[in-house]
Structure 1
C-alpha cells in the first residue's frame, strides 16, 4: 500500500498534473467570484447581457493573443512550426464546444427565472456524473475506486451545502429541468475541450468559445433583453473586469487545466465553485454562511482531494498545450 501511494505521488509530481491542478485551483477564484460580480451589474443590465459583453471582450483579447503567437512563430530566429490546416472535424468540434458553452449559459440564466437559486446551484453542478458516465460509456474510460469515492463524497458535500435551501414545487419543474440540462451541457463542454486540447492551444479554443457565444447572442439578445448596455462608468468597469478576470483568466486557466487533467477530475474539482461563490458573497454582500456550510465545505474538499490524488487525474493524452 505504501509503495502504491509513493508511485501515485511520483506520477503526480513528475507529470503535468501538478501544473494542471494549480491552474485549476487558481481558476476557481475568478470563476467563483463571477456570480457576485454579475449581481453588482444586475441593477443596470441582465445576466445574459453581461455574458454577451464578457464574451466579445474576451474574444478580442484571445484574437490578439493568437495574432501575437502567429507573429512570434514567424520570427527568423525561431524554428518554423508546421501549422496543420483545420479539418472539417476540427471545425465541427470547435463549433460544438462553443455552442455547448453558450447553451449552458442561456439555460442557467433561464432556470434562475423559473426556480430558486439553491435548486439551480444544486442541479447545474451535477455535471461530474455526466462527465464520468460519458467517459465510461462513450470513450471507454475506467476510473479507479479512489476517484469514484472522491466524486461521491464531493457530490454529497455539494448537495448538503444547498440542501437546506432547496425547494421543490410543481411551479418550479421547468426551472429545475433547465438547471438539470445546464449540467448536461456543462459536461459536454468539458469533454469537448478535453478532446480539443490534443489539437489546439488554449488561446485558440477560448477564441472559438467566446466567438461562438458572441455570434450566437448578438442577434437574439435585442429580443430577449430590454437593456443591452450599462448606463454608468461603474457598470462598464465591472463588465470589463469580469471579461478580463473571470472570462480570460478564470475560463482560460480552466481550459488550460483540461490539457493536463482528465475532465472527470476537473468536473469534481469544480464542485468547489458554488461553495466558494457563497463565501465571496459572504464577504461582499454579508450573506449568511453558517457552521454547517463550513462543514460541507470541508466534505467537498475531502472528496476533491481523493479525486485529485487518484490515478484518474492525468489527461488521457497530453499532447495539447
Structure 2
C-alpha cells in the first residue's frame, strides 16, 4: 500500500469538525428549515456539476429504471431528513438533536434485517437496546424541561430514520454508479423535492441577509462535500470502524460549539443519555476480535 501524503487521522479530525458545524450553521441562519435545506443541496449540486458533466455524464445512459426509482426515493428521503432535522433544532438543543441523529447505525441494522434478511447477532441486539435506552433518557429529560424540546427530539429521530432509508436505497444503486454520479443524481432529486416543498409551504426563497447566503454556502461546502469527502479519502488507509467511531464525536463537537456560540447548557439527562447512546453505538461498530488492530487495519 502506498504511503499517505499526511497522517490519515488529520483529515479525519478535520472531517469530524466540519460535520459538527452543520447544526451550528443551521441555527445561525434566519431562513425556514425547507429553504435552508434547499440552498444547502442546490449549492452542493452546483459544486458537483463540473466534475459530473466533464467526466461522468455518460453514466446516465447506464442507469436502469430500478436505479432511477431507488435514486428518486433516496433523494426524497434525504430532502425530508434535512427538513425535519433542521426543524428539530428550532425546538430542542443541538446536543439532543445531534445525539439522536447519531442513532443512524441502529436504524440501519433494523433496515437490513427487514429488507435484506441479515441476521442480528446478540451484540447487535445488546448495542441497540443500550442506545435506545440512552435516547429514551434524553427524550425523557427533555420532556420534563418542555413539550417543545420533546417534540424536537421526535423530529430528530424521524430524521435519523429517513437518512437511514436514504442509505439503504442507495446501497443497491452504488454498486453500478460512481460516487460522483450517484451523489449528483440524488442531490439533484433532493434539490427538486425541496424546491417543491418550499413552494407548497409558501416559504420565501429570498431576499436574505448576506450572512445567510454565507451559511448556506458553508453548509454545502463543509459538512456536505468537504467533511464526507475527507472520510472517503481516509478510508484508503484506515479501517471503516475508525471512521464510524470518529463520527460518534460529532455530537460532542456540536455540543461544545453550541455552548460557546449559543450558550446552550447541558442538563444531566442529556449528558447521561448521550453517553449511553454513544456507548451503545460504539459497541455496535467495534469488532471485538479486531479491536487491537482497529487503528492498524491493512486494507491492501
TM-score by length of 1: 0.67
Equivalent residue for 2:168, pick from 170, 174, 191: 191
User: What is aligned with 1:34?
Assistant: 22
For residues 16-27 of structure 1, the aligned pairs below 5 Å read 27=15
Number of residue pairs matched? 281
User: What is aligned with 1:207?
Assistant: 184
Q: Is the 8 A contact 1:147 1:307 kept in 2?
A: yes
CA distance in 2, matches of 1:309, 1:176: 27
Indicate the SS of the match to 1:164. Answer: helix
Q: Structure 1 residue 163: deviation in Å? A: 3.7
Q: What are the superposed Cα offsets for residues 152-199 of structure 1, whole Å, 9 maximum, x if unpaired?
A: 334433443454223599999987765554343222112123333322
Equivalent residue for 2:212, pick from 235, 241, 263: 235
1:247 paired with 2:229, answer no
- Structure 1 residues 112, 86: CA separation in 2 closer, same or farther (over 3 Å shift)? same
Q: Is the 8 A contact 1:102 1:216 kept in 2?
A: yes
Q: Is the 8 A contact 2:35 2:203 kept in 1?
A: no
Equivalent residue for 1:50, pick from 36, 42, 47: 36
- Structure 1 window deviating more from structure 2 (104-113 vs 229-238): it is 104-113
Q: Structure 1 residue 37: deviation in Å? A: 0.9
User: What is aligned with 2:52?
Assistant: 66
Cα RMSD (Å) of the superposition? 4.4
1:307 paired with 2:284, answer yes
1:100 paired with 2:88, answer no
Q: Is the 8 A contact 1:202 1:252 kept in 2?
A: no
Q: What are the superposed Cα offsets for residues 239-297 of structure 1, whole Å, 9 maximum, x if unpaired?
A: 211110022123556788999859xx96x986654454222211322221367655555
Q: Is the 8 A contact 2:15 2:227 kept in 1?
A: yes
Q: Is the 8 A contact 2:33 2:87 kept in 1?
A: no
1:87 paired with 2:64, answer yes
CA distance in 1, matches of 2:37, 2:108: 24
Greater helix content: 2
- Structure 1 residues 270, 230: CA separation in 2 closer, same or farther (over 3 Å shift)? farther
Q: Is the 8 A contact 2:98 2:254 kept in 1?
A: no
CA distance in 1, matches of 2:81, 2:262: 26
- Structure 1 window deviating more from structure 2 (85-94 vs 22-31): it is 22-31
Q: Structure 1 residue 210: deviation in Å? A: 1.7
CA distance in 1, matches of 2:78, 2:234: 17
Indicate the SS of the match to 1:90. Answer: helix
